Every structure is written in structure tokens, then in C-alpha cells.
Amino acid sequence: LWLLPAELARPHGGSPLAAWLRWNGAQLGWPTLDGLQFFYRVGLWFFWPAWPFAGWAVYAWRRQRHVLHIVVPLAFIGMLTLLALLHPSPEQSQLLPLLPPLAVMAAFGLLTMKRGAINAIDWFSVMALTVCAGVIWLFWFAKLTGWPAQLAKNALKLVPGFKPELNLIAFFVAACATAGWIALVRWRISRQPAVLWRAVVLSSGGLILIWILLMTLFLPDMNYSKSYASVAEQIAQKLPPSASCLDSNVGPAQRASFAFYGKLPFAGPAAAQCEYLLLQDSAKVKDEQEIAPRHRGKEWIKLWEGRRPSDRDERFRLYRHAD
């Protein structure tokens, strides 16, 4: 419905229908080995614990092929999986639409799953997620104290230049979450509650524990590693106060970060050729390989080149058009 009034209004002097069709066409490509590996490697934990129960539901209801509570979610899973595999650049956000149909099927799988299978999933969750939590605590201790030395080196290798500090509030929250996990495991094993959700309580609780530990003990590390604040500030220092137009090929997420941290004046949809140009590419390619043809030549002078300290592949370069 929005296409007709948008086509009549033609904001920014262009056709939104053509841009919308181009965007949708860019979301599809041929399946690649990297995409298949990403789907398997990330999806294994991204869909946990829904996928074991959803798989059991398909098996348990295999003789009744026309039941809607299995056929409809299964159809959505098939279509969404195909779209995820056909995407040219796999990302975790493409896996999110698969969670609702998986959860629906998992709910019906809980009704028919036997006690032995439930206990096997519980013990796997307890062992695997407890080991993961222990490793997180060990690396956190190592990065703060420097012992063991090899663990401390590995913990700080991905965040060069970062100086860890003890945050008592984060430590208290992480300790309470760990104590809650121990109490949950003890309650589940000792009492064997006869409730429908007993099969997912340990798996879900363990994943929540891992998330809390990462968001408390290692949140400063991740902020330092992922933030574009330092890059935006360096670019802003190279731009004169009179700069009013900055052309760029950076993505929407980086553009928002640069605009927030560095107040960079990015060009709007109707802007003409700008005096300044910010390019984002890979450090592994040749200098001129990813520059658009209209930006090549001696008329562009490089003012700055840099990257985030933790990212050796991503590179940003700032150019000024020669008068």
C-alpha cells in the first residue's frame, strides 16, 4: 500500500519503488560455503535449546503429515532457512525470524519427549554451559591479575591497548547469576519437578548465565573492541570546521556511530559532489581496488588512514578533493 503514495510523492526526487526493488535484489545470491558454515556454526547455539525439541516434534508427529501445528511452522522454517542461505553476507540478524516457528514446534515436541531424552539434554546443558561459565570466570581473573600469564595474554590479544579494571557492581551481578545457576541445577536434579517446562529450564538458564557473565565481566572489553568512537574522533580532527558535506560508502551502522561520536556531516540523498570523501574497505585489498571510478585520480588527496585497534581487516581513509 505504501508504494503507490510514495511513487506519487517521489521523495528526494527519485523512485522509492526502484530503490526498494534494488534492495530486495541485493538480499539474494547463490549459496556459498561460508554461508553454510556460518549457518551451522552459529545456528547450533543460536537456536539452542529450541532446535532439539523442534526436531523431536517432527519425528514424533511424522505419521500425521497434515497436522497444521507442525506443517505450518515447518514451512516457515524451510522458507526462512533458504532465504538465510541465499543471503550474500550472512549475519545473526537473518537467523532471528527462524526462532518463532522453531519455538512453536519445540512446544509440541515437549509434549511427546521421553524422560530419558530430556535428562540427556539436561546433563549436556549442565556440563557444557558450566564449563563455559568457568572459562569466562577464569579468563576474567587472568586479565585482571595477569595470572596465568598465557590466559591473560590470550584474553587481551583481541583488545590491544585495553586496560582492564575491576567493576564491583558488575562482579556482584555476575556472582549472583552464578549462584543462581548453581541453585537452579541443584533444584532441577534433586526434585525432578513434574512440569512441562522442566526440559528447557536448565538449557535456558545456562544460556542466560553465559549472557549475564559476558555482559558484566567482559562488556568493557567488547565496547572497546567494537566501538567506533576513537575512529570518529580522529576523522573529526582532520576535518575543518567549515566542512559541510562528506561523501562515504560506509554502512548505516558505522554512519550512525560516526555521526554520533564525531558529528561528521554526511551527505544527504540530494547532495551534490562533496569536497570530502570517507572510504571503508579491507586492508587486504589494493589501495585503488575498492574506490569508485569517480573518486579515482590525482584530484583526491588522502588526509588520514586508520582503523579500530582490535580490527586488522577493516580500514577507513579520508580524502579531500583537490581544488
Q: Specify the range with the lowest mean pLDDT, choosing from 95-99, 220-224, 272-276.
A: 272-276
Contacts of 321 by beta carbon, 8 Å cutoff, 6+ apart: 273, 274, 275, 276, 277, 299, 300, 301
Q: Which residues of 231-270 are buried (b: 16+ CB within 10 A; e: fewer)?
A: bbebbbeebeeeeeebbbebeeebbebbeebbebbbbeee
The residue written with cell numbers 586508520 in the block is 306
Task: Tell which of 202, 226, 250 closes a domain.
Answer: 226
Strands 300-306 and 314-321: antiparallel
Average pLDDT score over residue span 218-235: 92
Residues 157 and 104 in one domain: no
The confidence score (pLDDT) of residue 207 equals 92
Report if residue 9 sits inside a domain: no
Over residues 144-157, the pLDDT tens digits come to 999 999 999 999 98
Residues 120 and 132 in one domain: yes
Contacts of 160 by beta carbon, 8 Å cutoff, 6+ apart: 309, 310
Task: Tell which of 196, 226, 256 closes a domain.
Answer: 226
Indicate if the pLDDT at residue 293 is higher than 50: no
Q: What band does 294 get if pLDDT is binned at 50, 70 and 90?
A: low
Residue 104 lies in domain: 31-112
The residue written with cell numbers 528447557 in the block is 200
Distance between CA atoms of residues 51 and 61, nearest Å: 15
Residues 274 and 185 in one domain: no
The CA radius of gyration of the chain, in Å to the nearest whole number, is: 25
Q: What backbone torsions phi and psi does residue 81 show, to the nearest 5 degrees?
A: -65, -40
Residues 119 and 215 in one domain: yes
Q: What band does 270 get if pLDDT is binned at 50, 70 and 90?
A: low
Residues 99 and 126 in one domain: no
Over residues 14-34, the pLDDT tens digits come to 667 777 787 788 788 888 888
Average pLDDT score over residue span 89-101: 90
Cell of 280: 571503508
* Strands, E assignment, the chain: 246-248, 276-282, 300-306, 314-321
Indicate if the pLDDT at residue 171 is higher than 90: yes
Q: What band does 7 get if pLDDT is binned at 50, 70 and 90?
A: confident
Distance between CA atoms of residues 307 and 230, nearest Å: 9
Q: What backbone torsions phi and psi does residue 281 show, to the nearest 5 degrees?
A: -155, -165
Task: Calculate the average pLDDT of the chain.
Answer: 87
Indicate if the pLDDT at residue 290 is higher than 60: no
Report if residue 22 sits inside a domain: no
Domain count, the chain: 3
Q: Specify the range with the lowest mean pLDDT, choosing from 52-56, 163-167, 296-300.
A: 296-300
- pLDDT higher at 269 or 266: 266
Task: Tell which of 62, 84, 112 closes a domain.
Answer: 112
Indicate if the pLDDT at residue 143 is higher than 80: yes
Report if residue 4 sits inside a domain: no
Specify whether the CB–CB gap between 322 and 301 falls below 8 A: yes
